[in-house]
Amino acid sequence: MRAQARLIDRLCRDLKPGRLEWIGLRRAHRGEVVTVESARALAGRGLEGDHRVVKTSGSARQVTLISREFIGQIAHFMGIEDIAPELLRRNLVVSGINLNALRHQQIRIGDVLFEASAHCHPCSRMEAALGEGAVAAMLGHGGLCLKVLQGGQLKLGDIVAKMDDPIGV
pLDDT digits (tens, 9 = 90+) for 154-163: 999 999 999 8
Please state, in angstroms and rounded to a whole number, the distance separating the CA atoms of residues 137 and 100: 17
| Of 55 and 96, the one with more pLDDT | 96
Structural domain spans, the chain: 3-160
Give alpha helix (H) positions in the chain. Answer: 3-11, 68-78, 85-88, 125-130, 134-138
Q: H helices of 54-141, where?
A: 68-78, 85-88, 125-130, 134-138
pLDDT tens digits, residue range 23-63? Answer: 999 988 788 899 999 999 999 999 999 988 887 677 778 99
- Phi, psi of 87, deg, nearest 5: -70, -25
Q: Which of 105, 119, 118 is nearest to 161 (CA)?
A: 105
Query: Is it the case that residue 167 has pLDDT exceeding 60?
Result: no
pTM of the model: 0.89
CATH fold for domain 3-160: M1 Pyruvate Kinase; Domain 3 (2.40.33)
Is residue 139 pLDDT above 70, yes or no? Answer: yes
The answer to whether 100 and 162 have CB atoms below 8 angstroms apart is no
At 27 the pLDDT is 87
112-131 mean pLDDT:
89
Contact 117, 60 (CB under 8 A): yes
Angle at 38 between CA 47 and CA 95, to 5 degrees: 90
Residues sharing a CB contact under 8 Å with residue 106, sequence separation 6 or more, in sequence order: 113, 114, 115, 116, 149, 162, 163, 166, 167
Q: What whole-number distance in Å separates Cα of residue 128 and Cα of residue 55?
A: 25
The total number of residues shown for the chain amounts to 169
